[in-house]
């Protein structure tokens, strides 16, 4: 019992230390990566932000939808795989969010890097997220309609029988 408590406390302490290290490092690192890619160009900042915003919102939502649709089939392997892929593909947007919404020194440094080396990136990413979300909602609606129509056609072709009564 005591051994489990000690192991739990050590793991909790390691997680807290890891959090503070990553909170200081990741926003600054991500902003530096984007800053090197954009190189101070307003046009490249907007283009990079739009592409990352749209792709890293639209594709993960599609993967989450496929995860939901495939739940219960093949012993949950596709469900887990699609959910993991969705999270992995959302990481660029999550890293940008840590820079924009973070309150630590790393986030503030990342904001300054974005301001100088990647102008237009943050606003374009926000617009890209909105566009990606609207695209995903549209695709989800069409998938829902397609599946509903298939069920309706199946019900028309194979009406329920009352012979067993």
Domain-located, residue 6 = yes
H helix runs in the chain, sequence order: 2-38, 42-69, 77-101, 105-117, 121-157
CA angle, 14 as apex, 10 and 17 as ends, to 5°? 140
What confidence tens digit (pLDDT) does each residue in 14-28 have? 999 988 888 889 999
Domain count, the chain: 1
Domain-located, residue 126 = yes
Domain-located, residue 32 = yes
Domain-located, residue 110 = yes
What confidence tens digit (pLDDT) does each residue in 149-159 have? 988 888 888 88
Q: Which two tokens stand for residue 6?
A: 């000690």
Domain-located, residue 68 = yes
* Stated pTM of the model: 0.80
Domain-located, residue 163 = no
Tell me the residue range of the domain where 120 lies: 2-150
Domain-located, residue 143 = yes
Domain-located, residue 91 = yes
């Amino acid at each position: 019992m005591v051994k489990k408590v000690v192991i739990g406390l050590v793991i909790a302490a390691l997680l807290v230390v890891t959090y503070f290290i990553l909170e200081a490092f990741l926003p600054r690192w991500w902003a530096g990566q984007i800053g090197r890619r954009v190189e101070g160009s307003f046009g490249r900042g907007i283009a990079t932000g739009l592409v990352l915003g749209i792709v890293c919102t639209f594709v993960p939502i599609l993967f989450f939808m496929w995860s939901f649709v495939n739940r219960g089939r093949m012993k949950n392997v596709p469900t887990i795989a699609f959910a993991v892929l969705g999270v992995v593909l959302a990481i660029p947007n999550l890293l940008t969010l840590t820079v924009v919404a973070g309150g630590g020194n790393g986030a503030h440094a990342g904001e300054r890097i974005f301001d100088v080396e990647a102008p237009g990136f943050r606003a374009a990413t926000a617009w890209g997220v909105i566009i990606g979300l609207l695209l995903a909602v549209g695709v989800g609606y069409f998938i829902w309609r397609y599946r509903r129509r298939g069920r309706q056609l199946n019900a028309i072709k194979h009406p329920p029988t009352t012979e067993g009564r």
